[in-house]
Structure 1
Amino acid sequence: MSRHLTVMLVAAEASGDARGAELARALKKKLGGKVRFIGVGGARMADEGVQSPFDIAELSILGLWEGLRAYGKVKKRVEETAAMARADRPDVAVLIDSWGFTVRVAKALRAVDPGILLVKYVGPQVWASRPGRAKVLAGAVDHLLAIHAFDAPYFEKEGLATTFVGNGALAKDFSHADPRRLREAIGAHPDEPILLVLPGSRPSEIERMMPAFEDAVSRLKTTHPGLHVVIPAASTVTEAVKARAAGWPYRVHVIEDERLKDDAMVAGTVALACSGTVTIELALAGVPMVVGYRVGNITHAILKHLILTPWITLFNIAARDFVAPELIQSECTGPKLAAEIEKRVADPGLRRRQVEKQFQALDLMGRGGPDPADAAAKAILRLMAERN
């Protein structure tokens, strides 16, 4: 390529920020110095040269009511993103996950530059709910990079060309993680149990999940005083998590260092996790978990009629079974979460069996496949070559 390729990467959540950073690294590896990045992202994308004009934490919106209240803010951020494209004229824009924000950005970018190549990286889960989004996406972008092998038919029937690249979360490598390093950092002996608490990556998730998670952990600390509590906090909510954890009547370790977060994943005895990408990472690390989730009551009442599967955790969907227990909405309470965690703290056999089933589900999802970031970079360069 004789000139610099300008790539716009847009991500609005912690998981998208990680995917964007991995994609930027893969493109730089293939193009050397002949690529520059603009766009919207978080700390990881910033490390790769994507300087976001605003903090993406404010875009991590959960629920229909919250989305309506934040509409003005989202609209303003969409306009700022479009203005960046108008000024820098990227060759391609890659819009990562975050349906509500990125589909609006796609339409705004098309208005700015009708000829821009628009690529959606991670499609909406139309096989689980709201299948009409496939048609909406087909009308908004040129190509979809899918992370699930079963995605393509839903979008291709609407005329959207789709390339399966695999799920980056499935490619996460824990071979360099050291559980002993984490135990030394928190002062835990080799035989003392560690509870990982992962309350989400959106501010609204912290608000909704923390009360039940706090109650569960308090109950567990009463019965297991030697239980070490570790929170590997997402960068988008670190300050909010630290502020809440500061008021807990027992010691809690909030981990910000990325290396120690990986160490924590492999050191964990059991995890209490908010539903999301982190459940795949925990499963890869070999940690049995209990999954909790809450949304607003109005959102939940609507979603009950839209969700097409009984599961919300991806590896449970792949296994078509509750490999990890899911306590959702009214079931997501301190006593019920604590009871499920208690079973796993007390029973090594149960932990072992759950980990084995989690591994089997990951295999069904494509664990061990090619590197998704590399596959995504290849697909983008192929699309650019075809267009040129």
Structure 2
Amino acid sequence: MSAPSPVERPLTVMLVAAEASGDILGADLAAALRRRLGEGVRFVGVGGGRMAEQGVASPFPIAELSILGLFEGLRAYPRVRRRVRDTVALARRERPDIAVLIDSWGFTLRVARGLRELDPGLPLVKYVAPQVWASRPGRAKTLAATVDHLLAIHTFDAPWFEREGLKTTFVGNSTLARAVSLDGGPRFRAHIGAAADDPILLILPGSRPGEIARMLPPFREAAMLLKAQRPDLRLVLPVASTVAEQVKAEVATWPHPPLVVEGDALKLDAMAAATVAMACSGSVTTELALSGCPMVVAYRVGVLTHQVLKRLLTTRYATLFNIAAGEAVAPELMQYDCTPERLVVELGRLLDDPALRARQIAAQAAALEKMGRDPTLVPAERAADAVLEMLGQRGLG
């Protein structure tokens, strides 16, 4: 894949993301590169709706790659291998000048190996490091042997990978860099016709099909119990585009269906407006904390996956700001603790105690500061700088 001259075609950047969060990162990076290069860049690769808006025409829907759990991953392995081959075939046709592989460890690692075999000289960039500080530290050595550069979103990532010889650039966490809208809460309440003191429960069951299958049933039961106890409670469910149809079909059968909201703008406004949230563990917990929303965090995986993970995990908590704080700032109900009854107890305490909510909001904010919150940081711009610097070093930029 030798670099073409400018008269032949623009710089070709391959972006590969397999989940909703990666789709957002890929879209933001594409937009930042386009601001610099204009018509001098084109994008190919794998992604979702956000990346499609930036010109990435994915050869298959990424929802089928959103796999939850180790053993669920084994069952999906033939499909993953097929999609890896499809991705490498896309690179063979489009001849990218650089490939940026975003999050999604298992899929992107296989894609990286396929691309390396296809063209040993193709620059490979990994965007978002595997969380080796939480489990499986050997992945740092594996990644260093597979890609050329890492774009890290946590300040504490770099030492793990640099000691293995992988050049690492800290670009920042786009969630932590988000500026919080002060009028988002009142705007959302006006949008749904809610008074300033109406209680709102936000339901966030995840962005992967597997998460929806495991998390929506206990969340449903908890929400219905809380609604029965508090008839004035409003239920709101922001939904990721990757699982929108699945979720809407499910909640339509609930005795008290929640209001389903789509799109990032409404989601963030809903977070700012909510009294409390019931959230699937993941990056959404950081978004909630930034929005000043107290929450209860929950998660479930398959029984066999849980048995394996218990032996692999080296952290006490699952939520990043709990890890940063060194304590359960937000209650975590994991696996067998994730029951409707436990959820009702923890959420009920927050709904009924404004002082408790205020203390948790303050503790969440303090933990975000420990995580390196910086509203002036623009991770996509830093990531674009690193990509262009790498291309320039190879005479391609």
For structure 2, the residue ranges without an aligned partner over 5 or more in a row are none
Q: Which one-letter code corresponds to 1:214 in the other structure?
A: R
Tell me how far 1:9 sits from its aligned partner: 0.5
> Is the contact made by 1:170 and 1:367 (CA closer than 8 Å) also made in structure 2?
yes
- Give the paired residue count: 388
Query: Is it true that 1:248 corresponds to 2:254 in the alignment?
Result: yes
For residues 251 and 164 of structure 1, what CA distance do their matches in structure 2 show?
42
Q: 1:176 to 1:74 in 2, by over 3 A?
A: farther
Counterpart residue number, 2:158: 152
User: 1:63 aligned to 58, 63, 69, which one?
Assistant: 69
Aligned pairs for 1:97-112 within 5 A: 97-112=103-118
Moved more, 178-187 or 99-108: 178-187
Q: Which one-letter code corresponds to 2:271 in the other structure?
A: M
> Is the contact made by 1:198 and 1:232 (CA closer than 8 Å) also made in structure 2?
yes
For residues 329 and 278 of structure 2, what CA distance do their matches in structure 1 show?
14
Query: Is it true that 1:50 corresponds to 2:56 in the alignment?
Result: yes
Counterpart residue number, 1:8: 14
Query: Is it true that 1:348 corresponds to 2:354 in the alignment?
Result: yes
User: 1:378 aligned to 382, 385, 391, which one?
Assistant: 385
Secondary structure of 1:6 counterpart: strand
Moved more, 182-191 or 291-300: 182-191
Aligned pairs for 1:309-320 within 5 A: 309-320=315-326
Counterpart residue number, 2:293: 287
Counterpart residue number, 1:184: 190
For residues 98 and 121 of structure 1, what CA distance do their matches in structure 2 show?
10
Counterpart residue number, 1:85: 91
Moved more, 164-173 or 121-130: 164-173
Counterpart residue number, 1:329: 335
For residues 370 and 178 of structure 1, what CA distance do their matches in structure 2 show?
21
Tell me how far 1:176 sits from its aligned partner: 7.0
Counterpart residue number, 2:208: 202
Q: 1:42 to 1:280 in 2, by over 3 A?
A: same
Counterpart residue number, 1:216: 222
Q: Which one-letter code corresponds to 1:84 in the other structure?
A: L
Secondary structure of 1:303 counterpart: helix
Q: 1:176 to 1:118 in 2, by over 3 A?
A: farther
Secondary structure of 1:162 counterpart: strand
Tell me how far 1:251 sits from its aligned partner: 3.4
For residues 281 and 32 of structure 1, what CA distance do their matches in structure 2 show?
31
Query: Is it true that 1:130 corresponds to 2:130 in the alignment?
Result: no
> Is the contact made by 1:177 and 1:262 (CA closer than 8 Å) also made in structure 2?
no
Q: Which one-letter code corresponds to 2:134 in the other structure?
A: A
For residues 50 and 285 of structure 1, what CA distance do their matches in structure 2 show?
30
For residues 174 and 17 of structure 1, what CA distance do their matches in structure 2 show?
21
User: 1:73 aligned to 50, 71, 79, which one?
Assistant: 79
How much identity, in percent, do the aligned residues show? 61
> Is the contact made by 2:234 and 2:258 (CA closer than 8 Å) also made in structure 1?
yes
For residues 184 and 136 of structure 1, what CA distance do their matches in structure 2 show?
51
Tell me how far 1:259 sits from its aligned partner: 2.1
Q: Which one-letter code corresponds to 1:380 in the other structure?
A: V
> Is the contact made by 2:240 and 2:263 (CA closer than 8 Å) also made in structure 1?
no
Tell me how far 1:177 sits from its aligned partner: 5.5
Secondary structure of 1:32 counterpart: helix
Secondary structure of 1:305 counterpart: helix
Counterpart residue number, 1:232: 238
Give the RMSD, CA atoms, in angstroms. Answer: 1.3
For residues 316 and 379 of structure 1, what CA distance do their matches in structure 2 show?
30
For residues 181 and 253 of structure 1, what CA distance do their matches in structure 2 show?
16
Tell me how far 1:187 sits from its aligned partner: 2.7
Query: Is it true that 1:169 corresponds to 2:212 in the alignment?
Result: no
For residues 359 and 6 of structure 2, what CA distance do their matches in structure 1 show?
55
> Is the contact made by 1:7 and 1:90 (CA closer than 8 Å) also made in structure 2?
yes
Q: Write out per-residue CA displacement over residues 319-338 of structure 1, whole angstroms, 9 at most, x where no aligned residue.
A: 11111111000000001011
Q: Which one-letter code corresponds to 2:361 in the other structure?
A: V
Runs of 4+ residues over 6 Å off in structure 1? none
Tell me how far 1:255 sits from its aligned partner: 0.4
Q: Which one-letter code corresponds to 1:321 in the other structure?
A: E
Q: Write out per-residue CA displacement over residues 73-103 of structure 1, whole angstroms, 9 at most, x where no aligned residue.
A: 0001000100110011111100000001000
TM-score for the superposition, normalised by structure 1: 0.98
For residues 256 and 124 of structure 2, what CA distance do their matches in structure 1 show?
49
Query: Is it true that 1:32 corresponds to 2:38 in the alignment?
Result: yes
Q: Write out per-residue CA displacement over residues 18-51 of structure 1, whole angstroms, 9 at most, x where no aligned residue.
A: 1111111111111122111000000111111111
For structure 1, the residue ranges without an aligned partner over 5 or more in a row are none
Q: Which one-letter code corresponds to 1:328 in the other structure?
A: M
> Is the contact made by 1:177 and 1:259 (CA closer than 8 Å) also made in structure 2?
no
Tell me how far 1:11 sits from its aligned partner: 0.4
> Is the contact made by 1:219 and 1:338 (CA closer than 8 Å) also made in structure 2?
yes
Counterpart residue number, 2:25: 19
Q: Which one-letter code corresponds to 1:373 in the other structure?
A: A
Tell me how far 1:138 sits from its aligned partner: 0.8
For residues 331 and 182 of structure 2, what CA distance do their matches in structure 1 show?
29
Tell me how far 1:5 sits from its aligned partner: 1.5
